[in-house]
Amino acid sequence: MTIRALVFDAYGTLYDVQSVLAKAEALCPGKGEVITQIWRLKQLEYTWLRSLLQEYEDFWLVTRAALDFALQAAEVEPNDAICGPLMENYLHLDPYPEASEALAALDGRKLAILSNGSPKMLQELVRNSGLDRWIHATISIDSVRAYKPHRACYALVGPVLEVPKQDVLFVSSNSFDVVGAKAFGFEAAWIRRSAVAGPATMFGMLRGRAEELGHAPDHTVSALTDLPRLL
C-alpha cells in the first residue's frame, strides 16, 4: 500500500484514558476504578447521543457531564474539589509507553491526530506530553459539531493534510472509530490492546472486541510500535 499520512485517534490510542485511575482513587478511596470505567463508557455514549440529538456540546463539557454521572453512580456527590483535579488530569493523560518510540519510527510521513477533543484540550494534551515533536497537525471534530464515527469528522483530514483518503492509514484502539474510518474510505489499523483484568473486565470485554457492523480493519496489531512493519 502507498501510505503518505498516518492519522491517530488520541484518547485510548496515543493516550491512556485509564491513567486517571490513580487520581480518582486518591480522591474517592475504594471507588476509583469503577468511577474511571463508568466515566469513559459514559463519555463515549454521550458523544453518540449528542450527535444523534443534534445538540452539540464540546468534548470538555461532555467529559464533565460523564464524570458527574460516574460519580453519582458510585454514590459520590460531584464537587469542585473532586471534579476539578479529575478534569485537569485529562490535560495530562499519560501517553502509552510505546507512543514516542512508534512516532519517532514513523517520522518522515505526515503524522496527525483526529480526535473528539476540543481544540484547547488537544493542544494542551499534546504539548504537555511532548508528542508535539512528531505530530504535524492536531485536528478536532469541533468544527463540524458532530462526533466520531460521523463521516464529516473523517472528512476533515483531507483538507488539512492534502492527502487523498486512500493514502491515509487511520489508527485507533477504539473499534467503533475503526468502523467509521474504514466506512469513510481510509485504510484502517486497529490497536487491539489486551483486556484489563479485575473490576475493569467489562470495559475490556466491550472495548477489546471488533464491532459487528462490517467494515473490518485492514490490520490488527497489539501496540503502536507494530505500525512501522505494516508500511
pLDDT score, position 194: 65
Taking only the tens place, the pLDDT of each residue in 57-105 is: 999 999 999 999 999 999 999 999 999 999 999 999 999 999 999 999 9
Average per-residue pLDDT for the chain: 92
- CA–CA gap between residue 10 and residue 157 (Å, rounded): 14
pLDDT score, position 203: 66
* Ordered strands of the 5-8 beta sheet: 137-140, 110-115, 5-8, 168-172, 187-191, 219-221
DSSP code of residue 177: H
126 and 54, same domain (yes or no): no
59 and 105, same domain (yes or no): no
pLDDT at 199 over 60: no
pTM over 0.85: yes
79 and 137, same domain (yes or no): no
12 and 23, same domain (yes or no): no
pLDDT score, position 225: 86
Task: Please indicate whether residue 167 is annotated as part of the active site.
Answer: no
Pull the grid cell for residue 101. 518510540
Q: What percent of the chain has pLDDT over 90?
A: 81
Q: Which of 89, 123, 141 is the last residue of a domain?
A: 89
150 and 45, same domain (yes or no): no
Domain, as residue range, for 183: 5-16+94-230
- CA–CA gap between residue 167 and residue 161 (Å, rounded): 11
72 and 108, same domain (yes or no): no
Widest CA span of the chain, in angstroms? 52
Give the total number of structural domains in the chain.
2
Asked whether 126 and 138 are in contact (CB, 8 A), the reply is yes
Q: What stretches of the chain show up as alpha helix (H) in DSSP?
A: 21-27, 32-53, 59-73, 80-89, 99-106, 119-129, 151-154, 157-161, 175-184, 201-207, 227-230
Active site residue: 9, 16, 58, 142, which one?
A: 9
Q: 156 Cβ partners below 8 Å, 6+ apart?
A: 114, 139, 141, 143, 144
Q: What is the mean pLDDT of residues 141-162?
A: 97
12 and 22, same domain (yes or no): no
Q: Which of 59, 89, 119 is the last residue of a domain?
A: 89
30 and 118, same domain (yes or no): no
85 and 109, same domain (yes or no): no
Q: What is the dihedral of CA 159, 161, 162, 168, to 10 degrees?
A: -110
* CATH for 192: 3.40.50.1000
